[in-house]
Structure formats: C-alpha cells, structure tokens
Structure 1
Amino acid sequence: MRTLIAFLVLFSYNALAKECQSELVVSYNGDWKPYFYQFGNGLYEGIDFTLLNRVVTAMGCEVDVLPMTEARSIIELGKGSFDISIGASYTPERAEQFYYSLPYRQEMIGVMFFNNAAHNRHTPLRDVLEQGGVVGINMSGYFGDVVEELKAQYPAQFVHGFSLPERISMLSEGKIDAVVDDRGALCHQMKGLKVTGLASLGDEASDLVLSDEILHDNEVFFLFSRLTVDAAYVEMFNHHLERALSQPTESDMQCR
C-alpha cells in the first residue's frame, strides 16, 4: 500500500510517522553520480538518495527503488507506478500534475571540454558552437534558457547521450567537443578520471577542463505523484526535510 490515507492529517508528525506502513517508491533511471547511483546488486547510494533515506526513515517509512528508463519515468510517475523522483527542476506544468517538496539543493549547469589551444576554462559554450563544435547533452533534460536558445540556433550540433559517462566517453573518443551537465556531476566524473578542472592546479595540469561559465542556476526538488501521495504526506515530508537540511553534510563537489 503506497497511498497515504487521508485521516493522517488529524495527527501530529510523530503520530503520522507511526502510521506509515508502506514504502516510498523512487524511480532509478541509471547512475547519476554523485547524486544517485547503483554500486551493487540492488544497492544504491548518492547524496540525494542518502538525503531521501534520512527523511523517509525519520517519518517511519522505507524507500524502495524501482529501476526504469528515463523516458518511462515521468510517464509512470503521472500514472502512479511509483511515488517520487529525485532531482527535479520546477516548471508550472509539472506543478499542476505533481507535488513538489521544498527545494533541497542548488543546481548549476556547466560545460566541460578538452583543455587545448582552442578551449580553456574561460571558453564560453557559444564559442565552441560558433567554431562548429558538437555538444553532448541529455536531450530530454532541461538545462536552462541559454542552452535551449543555443539548441534552437545550432540544432545539428547537439547530440544525445543519456548518461554522463557515455558523453564523457564520446568526448574522449573525439566524437564530440563539449559536454553539458550539472557542474557537481561533471566535477565528480573528472575526479574519477583523475583529471581536474580546478583552477588552483592550473590549466596545464588538466586533460579535461570545467569551464567557469554557469549556463543555468536553479533549485532542485523531490517530485511526488499526486495519485499515490497526498498533501498531508508531502507536508510531513517537508517538515522532516527541513530538519535534515539544517544538519551539516559532507560534499566532494568543490570544483567551482
């Protein structure tokens, strides 16, 4: 049973937690380090996933992960096949169909490319496109108005790659010239490859470089299905989320 029954609104937060008898089902669309990823058979971790677990555990509930493709995720959330998505940006259209949590982190969109004579960390994405460069991006994602305008202006120069490791592999193989994604995720991937875009090490130390350009800056939310979760549940979730966010956490995403 995933649907929270309506009479829970009559109780305090502690009583609400005691009444929770079901798991909260979250969709998993593939590794998105450092936020949500699989590291074993049915085992998951990541900054966002850990936060979600802390909040749901405080409510007396459990998290269950349902793997599915990204293309199916938003469709199935609307149908009530699962309860929550991680890392959602706000749009008025989604707000009409889904419940939003409080914002739980700030997302900044950036661009990464090879550090060479043509590109360094001061190179804007527009320059890469004006030079005929090809950009790898998850075409189903939203990366802000600047990227949307560039995609409309240079439609043939944006190619799809769902996962960030896939796009970085395309970059390493010379199939594309730049990768657009969340800066924290780009930073994490670069550290994993033992290369860095950190200015303190100097451009000469890098094979790949994370541009200084911030393409988009927005808040990130958990997104709930209105078919399986009611407003009382979201209110309780936000209460515990606010408490969790007030506690210090460690982060390894210092590439800015």
Structure 2
Amino acid sequence: MAIGTQREPFVIQPKDSPVTGFDIDLLKAIVEKAGCKLELINKKDLSWDTRLTMIKEGQLDIATGASWNNNRAEWAHYSFPYRNEYAGIYIRKSDEDLFASKSLAQLLAGPFTLGVTKGNTYGSKLDTLLASHKNKLHSVDNSSSFYQLIDQGKIDGFIGYPVTDIIQLIRKKLDDKFTLHYETVVKTGQVHYLLSKKTVSIDLINAFNSALVELRANGGYDKIVKKYSLSYGINTW
C-alpha cells in the first residue's frame, strides 16, 4: 500500500518514525490476523486519484478510507465498513455572515465556487448535488492547496472532513481564519478498505473481512478506537 497525503488522525506520517494512525493501526491488525504481510510505501507525492488508478491496474493492492462508489466496485473489492465519515464546507471566517444559514444547495445556486478533490466521492447525496453543479466546482489533486485558492479568490469554500481538517487548521495556525460551515455537514456514509481485483483473490478478501469481524468481536477494534479517542477527543468513528 502506498501512503499518500497525511490525514491525521487516520493516516499520520511522523518525520522519522513509522506511519501510524487509526486506519493504519487497524489495517496492520487485520492483515496480521488474516495471515498476510503488509508493505507500506511512503509516496507523499501520490494523489488519491493516482492511487485509485494504480489499484485499478494492479500496481497497488490496497487503499484506506474509501467510500462506496459503483464504478470502483467494478475493479476493486470493498472490505466490510470500518468507520463512518462526515464532510462539510469550509469557508473564511470573514464570510460567515455572508453564507450564514445556507445549505450547500443554496450556496451552489448562488455565486459560490467550491473546491473538491479529484477522485473523491462524498456519498450519494453530495455526489448527486455536485454532479448537477459541475460549473461551480474547482478540482485539485491535493486538498492542501485549498487555503491558497481561497486567498487567491479562485474558490469560496471547499469540501473537507471535520475531524481531519479541524486538526490541520490548528496545526497550521489557521483556525482563526477558516471555519466549518455547520449547515453543510452531512454523513457521507461508511468507509472501507479498497483492494485491487487484479491482485487480491476472493479468498483473501474473505479472510480480510473475517479478520475485521473478529477484531470487532474480541475487543481489538475497540482498543484502537480508545487510543485515538483519548488522543484527539473523537467520540464516533
């Protein structure tokens, strides 16, 4: 598996230490219980879209944090879900009054340009809405460019993930400049591991899923949840 952009607390890349994070710790536990070996390749320059293509072509075997998408299901196995995910729109704090009490549909109906990440799927509700407002979207390979794009006036907001983006705003000391528009937060669905059909057999995906079920039953999953819940104050996964 290739490690792309850091998504703390799910994927954490310490400078001189092994990659960790909720998704990684759980994956390692699943793989060990399934009797397999995991090789992590640190490729910070690989975008999500590129990694999806590599999984489709069999150049990579697995990715973390994948939402359900019918097109992907044609060339990849989805594991059983292992956590939920939420998305929302981030805007400048100075624009809070301008966009107050407006849903995403209302924002896109007006003069609002939205930043999205190539290759991302945001759940059926959001994906359907975005598909009908393609002229209002600005797509990027890496979500780290969103802050600069807002400063440049190229976008008015971007789709982010409350848990990961709040942490990053604090890390970058930008939490006084950007904020989550709470009227736009939605549960995008459940998150899965995505495994290449070109390299992963039915027997292996079955063993993978069985290991995940066993970890939920024997307390191994809860132990990992507790570790990151205590560290970050996260109540739901």
**TM exceeds 0.5?**
yes
Measured at CA, do residues 164 and 244 of structure 1 come closer, stay the same or move farther in structure 2, by a change above 3 Å?
Answer: farther
Matches within 5 A, 1:76-225: 76-116=54-94, 117-120=97-100, 122-194=101-173, 206-212=176-182, 213-225=184-196
Instruction: Flag the 1:126–1:42 CA change in 2: closer, same or farther, 3 A.
Output: same
Matching of residue 228 in structure 1 with residue 199 in structure 2? yes
Separation of aligned partners in 1, 2:133 and 2:197: 37
The 1-side partners of 2:108 and 2:10 are apart by 29
Q: Displacement, 1:253?
A: 6.3
- Structure 2 partner of 1:242: 213
Distance 2:90 2:110 in 1: 16
Q: How many residues get paired?
A: 221
SS at match of 2:40: strand
- Normalising by structure 2, we get a TM-score of 0.78
Aligned equivalents of 1:149, 1:225: Cα separation in 2: 26
Cα 1:149–1:232 shift into 2, 3 Å: closer
How big is the shift at 1:83?
A: 1.4
Percent same amino acid among aligned pairs?
21
State the Cα RMSD in Å: 2.8
Q: Partner of 2:73: helix, strand, or coil?
A: helix
Larger Rg: 1
Structure 2, unaligned runs of 5 or more: none
Amino acid at match of 2:103: P
Q: Partner amino acid for 1:228?
A: T
Partner amino acid, structure 2, of 1:183: P
Q: Secondary structure at the match of 1:45?
A: coil
Partner of 1:8: none
User: Which residue identity does 2:138 align to in structure 1?
Assistant: V
Contact 2:116 2:158 (8 Å CA) reproduced: yes
List runs of 5+ in structure 1 lacking aligned partners. Answer: 1-25, 197-205
When the two structures are superposed, what TM-score results if normalisation uses the length of structure 1? 0.73
Amino acid at match of 1:47: F
Distance 1:160 1:27, change over 3 A: same
Find the aligned partners of 1:135 and 1:147 in 2 and give their Cα distance: 12
Structure 1 residue matching 2:86: 3-state secondary structure: strand
1:150 deviates by 4.0
Whole-Å Cα distance in 2 between the matches of residues 190 and 86 of structure 1?
22
| 1:60-95 deviations in Å (ceiling 9; x for gaps) | 443212334433322321232221111112233433
| C-alpha deviation, 1:238, in angstroms | 1.8
In 2, the alpha carbon distance for the partners of 1:195 and 1:75 equals 33
- Secondary structure of 1:44's match? coil
AA paired with 1:29?
A: G
CA separation of 1:62 and 1:169: change in aligned 2, threshold 3 A? farther
Aligned in 2, Cα 1:194/1:119: closer, same or farther, shift over 3 Å? Answer: farther
2:84 and 2:187 in contact (8 A); partners too: no
Give the deviation of 1:215 after TM superposition: 3.7
